[in-house]
Structure 1
Amino acid sequence: MPAFQSVRGMRDLIGEEAQTFTHIIAKARETASLYGYKEVITPHVEPLELLSAKSGEEIRQRMFIFKDLGERLVALRPEFTASIARLTTTALKNKPKPLRLFSVGTVYRYDEPQRGRYREFWQSNFELMGSAKSEADAEIVLLTNNLMAPLGLHGYTFKIGHIGVIRGILSQDGVDEKTQNAVLQRMDKKEYDAALNLVESNKCRKMIEGLLEIRGNDWLDTIEQLQSYVANYEKAKISTGNLAEVLKLVAESTNANITVEPAFARGLEYYTGMIFEVYIPELDIALGGGGRYDRLIEAFGGEPTPAVGCAHGIDRVAIALHTQKTTVIAKTEKNVVVLPITEAMKSGALKIAQQLRAEGVTVQFEVMGRKMAKALEDADKRKADFAVIVGEIELKEGAVVLKDLASRQQSIVAIDKLLEKIKS
């Protein structure tokens, strides 16, 4: 038989890496709870029509697409938002607004595998649906901050912009929506020359070139520059005002680092307003990002519903933690092995193991039938704290031998005192 390997771009998570992922996911769930987001679970497979409608050409080209046995075109989800939007138009359509929804799991894109980019990757996802207010946009940025900080990440920066600024300039200068999407796709990939080559108007090209020069860490100063720059572009001016409101709320609610970048774009076509990404200085890949999408639910047949959301790349956050040498604190519950000395002791030993588990103690029972020396050697390798050795003489007296595997000391302990001794 061949030695099977995982499919290219997909990987197994084991040991400390799996523990790190579990830790990040737990923190994401804690954040969801703190902000009142309810978890929903959606399918990995959705109709292709749903997933491709507003995802953007870049993602459409990288979806895993296939026909099911009914000859229907379906795809593995490349992100969560389309599924959540579908849910909002069906099972949740009569629920009171705003809806705050959280989801976590794997998504799929046929990218070229490299560090921080896989074909199967993990995301935590937050969507706030039903509010067009700036405070909803600010909440999405703030909850991202509330995830990054408790994980122990430091020095991270939020890059914040507004897709309406670029679209406002392009539309006023006669660039159609399809071309706008193509321009934004290239700007998202920092292919600025290719983006500008799609714009026929020399005036418009000059405006976009100038917009690329406006950025800064002082949000007030940068907004003032931007307001002056787009003064003759009505839609871009309105978008700048909205961006200023969001930045004010975020800046006054947290001391996180913010860079304002009005020419910043994201690859998904459904964005209509504020957009953001979060970075650490040691990596040039975004750990997460999101933005406002006010027309997506309507495009899927629902009522006009303003919405804003974000996703965090769990794989990338794990890389960031490793890069910054941030230790993931493991739970400190005691880890115990229970070892029957003889075959006759198995039943009594198993009963003791069950009693300890019922009290929340992690117990591994000896199921290999090894000699005591080998079983204790294995317990050391598994980093167990204690070995509970069940012998005939001790058991008759309602006791066991408890061995501390760190100090190598052992003593006879009454079974009714065993839990207290292990936890002390």
Structure 2
Amino acid sequence: MVQVATKFADQLHAFFEANDCVNAEIGLLQPADPYLETAGEDFRRLMFLTSDQTSTNLCLRPEFTVPVCLHHLASGQIPVRYGYVGTVFRQREDEPHEFDQAGIEDLGNENRVEADIASLLDAETILRKLGVGDITILLGDQAIFKALLLALGLPKAWQEKLGREFGDTERLNQSLERLSGESSNPYEDLPADLVEHINSDDAQAVAGWVTDKMRASGLPLSAGRTPSAIASRLMDKVELASATLSDENRSALEQFLEIDAPIEDAAKIMGEFEAANNLSFGPSFENLKARFEGIQSSGMENCSVHYQASFGRRLDYYTGQVFEIYASNGKRPLVGGGRYDHLMSILGAESTVPAVGFSIWMDRLEQVVS
């Protein structure tokens, strides 16, 4: 086992024990595919990858959330809170690639609002216990953004694409520019029978067409992408190419992404946005308001809490509230976390498992309190 370098290890383990967190023993060498399938392409470029003699993709542990979830799946899936502290390996600009992280993953708690609030407060409490003074908390919400895209009636493929780009301002703006332009002919150079299947929204027929072409070309159906995956991607590309965004919807999206307010004002501003644009965020907004009320009534001191509608964390598995915590005037976050309810299903759970957690960059923390 890698020796944990952080001088705060004993205090962290004491906090975990006092708050009923189970210790998860996570190996240093991890299968890479679960990360590649869940965290996104941007994260892949940060990983240290290798393979064994059977060509299985492996990596040095880049973070704890994914392997803790895999551990949970293998251990029976009863609701439990896991605490961890250990070394991770990830490429970072102007910072060491080997560093310690600590955190808590809360898996299986059906009271999502309560668990979201508790996750944020646990992170704040740990920072206080370890000597951090004034802090700034930045909040965002993936679910609210997805609810907006649904309310605007965007095609499913565009909802998924923009949802993946949430939190990456440059890529999101590029996609909005593309969506606001003239649509292109998505059927150019496609055979007539394939166009008929696509227009019928018949994914099975498109997959069958792909299967026939692969067999006719002598391509194995089990190597690389499956016919179903190719068909799904093809139908998405057609939908992306043929859709356009009205000026009214473009304006609504831009107004939303500009919302940036203290937590005490944010819910009111969001409600005014809903009314002005004749839209509804649905249950996601009720959850956001309940979280904001809980956070405001928690009694945190020496703390500025801000909601930024455009803020998202650039990992594909987040599904709800996301947050980062900074030391006052700090440029890099000390803590990052959020809700990731879909991750367990992607990793193999038969049903949705509520999940929320956070991690602390211990090297940054030690610089602040040194």
Pairwise TM-score range, normalised by the shorter structure: 0.7 to 0.9
2:143 aligned to which of 150, 164, 173? 164
What residue in structure 1 maps to residue 119 of structure 2? 140
Indicate whether 1:280 and 2:327 are aligned.
Answer: yes
Indicate whether 1:317 and 2:365 are aligned.
Answer: yes
What residue in structure 2 maps to residue 388 of structure 1? none
How many residue pairs match? The answer is 294
Indicate whether 1:68 and 2:49 are aligned.
Answer: no
Mapped contact 2:334–2:365 kept (Cα < 8 A): yes
What residue in structure 2 maps to residue 407 of structure 1? none
User: How far did residue 52 of structure 1 move?
Assistant: 1.2
Task: For 1:257 and 1:321, locate their aligned partners in 2 and report how far apart those are by CA, in whole Å.
Answer: 19
1:136–1:69 Cα change, 3 Å: same
Mapped contact 2:264–2:296 kept (Cα < 8 A): no
What residue in structure 2 maps to residue 245 of structure 1? 290
1:119 aligned to which of 63, 85, 97? 97
SS of residue paired to 2:260: coil
1:203–1:123 Cα change, 3 Å: farther
Task: For 2:131 and 2:97, locate their aligned partners in 1 and report how far apart those are by CA, in whole Å.
Answer: 27
Task: For 2:322 and 2:119, locate their aligned partners in 1 and report how far apart those are by CA, in whole Å.
Answer: 10
1:203–1:32 Cα change, 3 Å: farther
1:142–1:50 Cα change, 3 Å: same
Q: Kindly provide the amino acid, as one letter, of the partner of residue 120 in structure 1.
A: E
1:223–1:66 Cα change, 3 Å: same
User: How far did residue 269 of structure 1 move?
Assistant: 0.9
Task: For 2:249 and 2:311, locate their aligned partners in 1 and report how far apart those are by CA, in whole Å.
Answer: 17
Provide structure 1 residue ranges, at least 5 long, that are not aligned to the other structure.
1-11, 323-424
1:151–1:53 Cα change, 3 Å: same
2:272 aligned to which of 209, 218, 228? 228
Task: For 1:56 and 1:156, locate their aligned partners in 2 and report how far apart those are by CA, in whole Å.
Answer: 29
What residue in structure 2 maps to residue 345 of structure 1? none
Indicate whether 1:36 and 2:20 are aligned.
Answer: yes
SS of residue paired to 1:222: helix
Mapped contact 1:105–1:123 kept (Cα < 8 A): yes
1:184 aligned to which of 156, 162, 166? 166
1:195–1:288 Cα change, 3 Å: farther
Mapped contact 1:182–1:195 kept (Cα < 8 A): no
User: How far did residue 191 of structure 1 move?
Assistant: 6.4
TM-score computed with the length of structure 1 as normaliser:
0.64
**Overall identity of the aligned pairs, in %:** 25
What residue in structure 2 maps to residue 100 of structure 1? 81
TM-align CA RMSD: 2.3
Alignment of 1:400-415 (within 5 A): none
Provide structure 2 residue ranges, at least 5 long, that are not aligned to the other structure.
181-244
User: How far did residue 257 of structure 1 move?
Assistant: 2.6
Q: Kindly provide the amino acid, as one letter, of the partner of residue 104 in structure 1.
A: V
Q: Kindly provide the amino acid, as one letter, of the partner of residue 315 in structure 1.
A: D
Task: For 2:367 and 2:174, locate their aligned partners in 1 and report how far apart those are by CA, in whole Å.
Answer: 31
Task: For 2:45 and 2:177, locate their aligned partners in 1 and report how far apart those are by CA, in whole Å.
Answer: 22
- Structure 1's consecutive aligned runs of 4 or more residues displaced over 6 angstroms after TM superposition are none
Q: Kindly provide the amino acid, as one letter, of the partner of residue 30 in structure 1.
A: A
User: How far did residue 215 of structure 1 move?
Assistant: 1.9
1:71–1:26 Cα change, 3 Å: same
